[in-house]
Amino acid sequence: MLLSFLVSIHAVVISALYFFLPIYLQGSLFFSGAQIGLLYGVLGLNSLLAAFPVGVVGDRYPARILTRLGLAATAVNLWGLARAERFWPFFLLFFAFGLSLQLYRQSLDIMLFKENDAAGRTRRFGNYNAWRMGGMTAGIFLGGISLYFLDYPRTFQLLAVLLLGLVAITWRLPLTRGPRTPLLQYGRDFLSGPVLFFVTWLFLFTMHWGAEGTSLGLFLKNNLGLNSVGVGLYLAGEFSVVALTAYLYGRGGAERLSPFPLLALGLATSGLGHILMTYPNLAWSFGWRLVHGFGDGLIMMITYTTIARLFQVDRIGGNAGLISLATTLGVLTGSLFYGPLGASFGYQLPLIISGLTSLALIPLAYVGLKG
């Protein structure tokens, strides 16, 4: 429960900033579309640098130490972002902010994967991700309210104080540690056929997160005319569906079903929802956003259960770090591609193209899983 609570707080911070931040960067700091895309891309770059080393360290030493470091560093960086107004100081702080968030979140995942209850694994993953998506829901809603009544710098500072206060409870986290594994063994694990297939479709799928980060908040503001509270309520509805999907997946025995129908259903609903939500009618758009959330919830649970099935527990931190590296590359690629595209041709276009990409992955999934 403590892992689930801490990951929900991580999600509060992410969601309170991730979708709203482009509005602040464009409207108050006057950053260009390319600069916004670069900032979101740098979230991927620091994960590229940290994902595998953090995973290996988490395999060998107690991951709760990494959680403490991540919490404290994230709080310091948020306080600095509240005071930065020029692009390059903001860029450097945002880089450090993303690095500390990666440390915080990945250490929690390592502790989750290393729990010994294999029989209850899927239910545990469902609870964990339901809490995480519940945190996303709360963060979106509270972020919208906070930004409506306060401003972005004060919201950064409030989040910093919250995170710093959580350092005191990290002593209750599980004490995980494993044997030293040669680094080449991680490479042998990663280069197996099933892992390479998994990484390929996951990379292509996560490019849509880059489209969301750079374009979704601006689409809701400019195309649907929502203020910060409206954006918060809109996205809170989506993440409520993601949380419910994860919870029900963990309790419904979905892992016993054939993998292709589940994966195809997730890709189809995620892709169609992304495309059809761009029609500029609020009720229509919101309904299809909920469909997208259902698809993303399925893909999230498939990802966690697949990682647990593919890798041995002694090396799961480093290997999960390599999977995180692949998804980060997807977000980075999506951010750098979709940020300028949305600014130049309309914020609906990145959402449509990334939705079509998800649909195109269904034949790839069929070939990979049936081959």
DSSP 263-318: HHHHHHHHHHHHHHTTSS-HHHHHHHHHHHHHHHHHHHHHHHHHHHHHS-GGGHHH
pLDDT at position 371:
52
pLDDT in tens, 76-99: 999 999 999 899 999 999 999 988
Angle between helix 87-113 and helix 33-60 axes, rounded to 10 deg:
30
**Res. 132 pLDDT band, cuts 50 70 90:** very high
- The share of the chain scoring above pLDDT 90, in percent, equals 40
CATH number for the domain spanning 128: value is 1.20.1250.20
- Compute the C-alpha angle 37/278/135, nearest 5°: 65
pLDDT in tens, 325-360: 888 888 888 888 998 898 899 999 999 999 999 999
Mean pLDDT of 28-43: 83
Q: Is 228 a residue whose pLDDT tops 60?
A: yes
The number of distinct structural domains making up the chain is 1
Tell me the average pLDDT of the chain.
87
Mean pLDDT of 300-312: 89
Query: 19-23, 133-137, 297-301 — which is least confidently predicted?
Result: 19-23
**Res. 210 pLDDT band, cuts 50 70 90:** confident
Q: Dig out the tokens for 255 from the structure.
A: 């892992």
The Cα 269–Cα 366 span in angstroms is 16
Amino acid in position 15 = S
CA proximity to 269, closest of 233, 299, 237:
299
Cβ atoms of 74 and 129 within 8 Å: the answer is no
**More confident site: 42 or 197:** 197
DSSP helix/strand/coil, 90: helix
Q: Dig out the tokens for 275 from the structure.
A: 């495309």
Query: Measured between alpha carbons, how far is residue 244 from residues 122, 202, 348 in Å?
Result: 14, 22, 27
Mean pLDDT of 33-38: 83
Q: 137: domain range?
A: 2-370
pLDDT at position 43:
72
Chain centroid to Cα 172, Å, comes to: 25
Cβ atoms of 63 and 170 within 8 Å: the answer is no
Mean pLDDT of 132-160: 83
pLDDT in tens, 239-285: 899 999 999 988 876 666 677 888 999 999 999 999 999 999 999 99
Q: Is 19 a residue whose pLDDT tops 80?
A: no
Mean pLDDT of 148-172: 87
- Backbone phi and psi for residue 358, each to the nearest 5 degrees, phi listed first: -60, -40
Q: Is 150 a residue whose pLDDT tops 60?
A: yes
